[in-house]
Amino acid sequence: MAIERTLSIIKPDATRRNITGAIVARFEEAGLRVVAQRRAHLTQEQAEQFYAVHRERAFFEDLCTFMTSGPVVVQVLEGEEAISRNREVMGATNPANADEGTIRRDFGESVEANSVHGSDAPETAAEEIGFFFSQIDIVG
């Protein structure tokens, strides 16, 4: 199994409820390690750029408004098969469809306010990590 890195965002609904520690604990319990972490308040431009792949989707504007509505925690998670492991721990995008014991099932409020984002593939992980972090920020 390969050691990978993936980009994780703890979203504004979770920072607002002060549950970032509980969410990080889920990643750590799943064998993922936080190797870079920063709190940030995204600008409209940053949110639009980060989610550019969704630009044509009906929810794009609301998504960007939500993602700029409060602070987020951006982090790099490292571990065996970190990209797919992170997605398992997060659960389905819509908390209503997420398996029991996943972060989105236990903490998500709605498909938009679903507490966490995670990269979906090796190429997007590299791109998304580079969006927020320099190599020097990542300490494994």
In this structure, the number of other CB atoms found within 10 A of the CB of residue 104 comes to 23
89 within 8 A of 26, measured Cβ to Cβ? yes
99 within 8 A of 46, measured Cβ to Cβ? no
- Only segment of 38-46, 68-76, 108-116, 123-131 that touches ligand CMP (CB under 6 A): 108-116
- Angstrom distance (rounded) from CA 115 to CA 12: 7
Q: How far is the CB of 83 from ligand CMP (least distance, A)?
A: 13
Q: How far is the CB of 50 from ligand CMP (least distance, A)?
A: 9
Place of tokens 């571990």: 79
Exactly one of 81, 109, 112, 127 binds ligand CMP (CB under 6 A); that residue is: 112
Q: What does residue 30 show for φ and ψ, rounded to 5 degrees? A: -90, 5
Question: How many chain residues touch ligand CMP (CB under 6 A)?
Answer: 8
Verify binding: residue 59, ligand CMP, rule CB under 6 A: yes
Whichever of 106 and 135 has its CB closer to ligand CMP, that residue is 106
Q: How far is the CB of 119 from ligand CMP (least distance, A)?
A: 9
Residue 106 token pair: 């236990």
Q: Could you list the residues that contact ligand CMP (CB under 6 A)?
A: 54, 59, 63, 93, 111-112, 114, 117
